[in-house]
Chain A
Amino acid sequence: MEFKDYYETLGIKRDASQDEVKQAYRRLARKFHPDVNKSASAEARFKDIGEAYEVLKDPEKRAAYDKFGANWKAGQEFKPPPNWDAGFEFSGGGFTGAEQHGFSDFFEELFGRGRFGGSGQHTAYRMRGENQHAKIIIRLEDAYHGSTQTITLSRAMVDESGHVRTQPHSLHVTIPKGITAGQHIRLEGQGMPGVGGGGSGDLFLEIAFADHPLFHAEGRDIHGVLSLTPWEAALGATVTVPTLGGNVELKVPAGTQAGNKLRLKGRGLATASKRGDHYVTIRIVVPEARTNEQKKLYREMARIMPMNPRI
C-alpha cells in the first residue's frame, strides 16, 4: 500500500488552517470536476482531492493522520504501525456517507473498517440506493461494429463484521452499434445497493470516444482528411478512402479545392434506424520541385494558367 500525502494532493502546507484546507479543496474540486474538466485524468484527480479533504476537513482524522509526520512521501510503501490510532477519540460523525465509496486502500486502512462508527445501524429506514455514474472510453471501431466492454467500479459492501468496505466490482456490458459520444446506457439496478430493503439504484454509463489516428466523430457523422495531388484535384480521380467499415472508392470531381468536403453517404455510425455519414475534408499536397525539369514544369504552369489565389 502506498502512502498518500493528502497535504500535497491539496497543495497546502502541513500547518494550513482549516479554512485554507477548505479553500484549497473547493478550488481544486471546481478545477478537476469530471463534468467540467474533460482531461482523462480529471476523474482520478477529483477522487484523490475528495479523499484528501475527507480526512483533512475533520480535525480528529487530520490529527490522527498528522501522527505520521512529514517523513512519509507520497507513493512510498506504507504499513500503518499497530494501534496507530490509540489515544484518539473518534466521534463517528457521519463517515459512512455515500461520498466515500471508491477511496484508496490507504484511506480504507486508516479510516475504514468502521473506525469511525460505521456500525451499519441503518435498518430503521428504507432507502433506494444511489444512482451511479461512470464514463467509459471506447474506440470508434467499437461504436461502429458494436462490442462488449468490461468495466470495474468501486462498490460499497458490508462485510461479515458489519463494516462498510469498498470492493472492485466488474461488469460486462454490451455496447450496441451506432452509439455516440455523450449518450448514456442505463443499467437498471446496477447502482448502489439500497438500504433496509430499498431497491438498488441504476448505473449510468456515459460513452466517450478515445482519440483515433484518422477520424473523429460529430454525433453519428465521421470526419477525416483526404490528401490529394493537384492533378487528382484538378482533373478528378477515383481514390481509395479508409472508413470505419473498411476501404471504399470515392469519386473526386474535377476542380476540387482544398477544404472542400465530400460525403460518403451512410458510412458513419449507424443504428437500426439512424445512419450517419462519413465526411472527408480535402487537403491538397503540393509536390516539391527538386529537379530542373520539375521546376520548368511549374514555370510552364504559371505561364499557361496564371492565377492569383489571394483575391
Chain B
Amino acid sequence: MSTDLIYLSGAILDEELECSLPDICRLCNVSLDMVQEMIAEGLLCPRGRHPMEWRFTAVELRRILITLRLQRDLRVNLPGCALVLDLLEELAELRQRQGR
C-alpha cells in the first residue's frame, strides 16, 4: 500500500465560490452542451443573463455532481434529476425543521 505523508490542501468549494461557464465545465468534467441542457431543464440557475456572464456557485456545482452520479448509477434522465434534486432539498429542509 502506498502512503505518502504529505498533507494535501484542496480548494474549498463554499458559498464564496463563483465561477464562469468554462470554469464549471472544467471543475465537473462536463461538456458545455451538458451544462446548457441542465440550465434549459431548470436544474441550474446561474446568475447573469448571457452565457458569457453566467456565474455558478457551490450550489450549482453540487447539483451538477449529484446529477452526474444519478445519471451514471441510476440512469435517471435530466427532468428526473431535476425532480430528485428538488425533492432532496425539500427533504433536507424538512429534516432540519423537524429538529433532528
Contacts and interface: CB of A to CB of B under 8 A. Distances in A.
Contacts of A205: 10
A63 interface: no
Interface residues of A, number: 42
Given A33-B74, A131-B29, A204 B65 contact: yes
B52 interface: no
Interface stretch (A77-85, A117-125, A163-171, A246-254): A163-171
A131 B29 CA distance: 7
Interface string A106-117: 000000000000
B14 A187 contact: no
B7 A183 contact: no
A29 B10 contact: no
Contacts of B72: 99
A173 B84 contact: no
Contacts of A130: 29
Contact of A133 (B5, B7, B10, B69): B69
Interface in A208-226: 216, 218
A35 B88 contact: yes
Contact of B11 (A36, A173, A185): A185
6 contacts: A35-B88, A133-B69, A148-B7, A172-B4, A174-B10, A179-B14
A201 B30 CA distance: 12
For the complex, would chain A's binding face be called helix, strand, loop or mixed by DSSP majority?
A: mixed
A185 B16 CA distance: 13
Nearest to A203: B10
A184 interface: yes
A247 B54 CA distance: 45
A188 B74 contact: no
A183 B7 CA distance: 19
A190 interface: yes
Contact of B96 (A169, A183, A204, A218): A218
Contacts of B10: 173-174, 185-188, 203, 205
